[in-house]
Amino acid sequence: MSRKLLLADGETARTGCARGVLYSATDTKTGELLNSAALAERVGWAADLVSRMTADLLAAHWNSNDVAALASGEDAEGRTLPSQAWMALRRLGWAATPGNGLRANDRIVRMAQEQAGRVLRSAKWRADMTAGILATWPADPARRTPGEWEAVRGSVPGGRDLPSSTVKSRTRQVVSFVEKHGHKPADVFELETAPRAARLLLLSACDGQQATLERGDSPGRALLRLQLPNRPDPRSYADWTWVACPVSLPPTVPPSAVVHLPALRRDTFTRTGPDCLAQRTGTRTCGRPAPPPSRGTNREGRRWAQVSTSAPTPLPRGGQARTASGS
């Protein structure tokens, strides 16, 4: 099923973020009510599994050839790679498995490939910038001459508009590497180790066989259903069960908004009481990164982070929110 929003004439879509919290859930198989601690634990088990596969993918492909192949936008046969990161990795044959006798469905693997693919795609810009700085290495790294600044800006993609602080910080990073190892790095992949994998569930890479998000009877309510393991080391598909999580949508999400699957993570900064859950997702139509999740303390003294869901809304060019049908 396509997730594209159908628009009437004179309408355009706007994508935004809304944050919230998951406090409880229900295991639909057993009917067990899961409090925040039990829900956080199950999400943590799934996130650990995904992050391990993501880390394996990053370690295996953290090199110039693989990053360049992914960034080229074409596979070995010259076909255009899909825009979804997980599909692009599969087209290139970069597989991931749970390993150690663990069992997870294909959608869990998708989330690992999606996260790894996004990280590897973003590494191409850093690789090009580092290569440009190394190719135009100044006589005095602490103070470039006007000619050296001109040279480095000409060799770095988008260097004319790049803040000087970005070039300086990367230069200091190379200097620290030289002081430690006695030589300059060949590229960013020698300069930096593979990034750490976030303990995150990118549900946007899944379909209805792993997760669904539907609005409830009231405008401010929604229901997130997803499969989570009931043990830290799932050995069979029977160790995965459907969990229903009620979501409270903030008033900033209009009734006409279409909600999409968010990202889930387990919060780990609690001071007292069990951990709660947080979702966070960035917008695709906004040029700025999503703000960090808000934090606070509930009535029981437990620390929490908020949940966010991406909610595109059809808008007429005049500005007032309307439905996709134009009514």
Residue 312 in any domain: the answer is yes
Residue 284 in any domain: the answer is yes
Helix (H) or strand (E) run with residue 303 in it:
strand 303-305
Residue 156 in any domain: the answer is no
**Alpha carbons 241 and 307: distance in angstroms, whole number:** 22
| pTM, 2 dp | 0.79
Residue 15 in any domain: the answer is yes
> Per-residue pLDDT averaged across 22-28, rounded?
93
Q: Which domain holds residue 258?
A: 11-45+207-316
Does position 245 have pLDDT exceeding 70, yes or no?
yes
Does position 312 have pLDDT exceeding 70, yes or no?
no
Q: Which range is least confidently modeled, 111-125, 139-153, 208-222, 300-314?
A: 300-314
Residue 168 in any domain: the answer is no
Residue 230 in any domain: the answer is yes
Does position 313 have pLDDT exceeding 90, yes or no?
no
Q: Describe the chain by its helix, strand, coil percentages, rounded to 5.
A: 35, 20, 45
Residue 296 in any domain: the answer is yes
Q: What is the mean pLDDT of the chain?
A: 83
**Alpha carbons 211 and 195: distance in angstroms, whole number:** 27
Residue 286 in any domain: the answer is yes
Q: How confident is the model at residue 2 (pLDDT cuts 50, 70, 90)?
A: low
Q: How confident is the model at residue 4 (pLDDT cuts 50, 70, 90)?
A: low
Q: How many other CB atoms are there within 10 angstroms of residue 169's CB atom? A: 10
Does position 275 have pLDDT exceeding 90, yes or no?
no
What's the total number of domains in the chain?
1
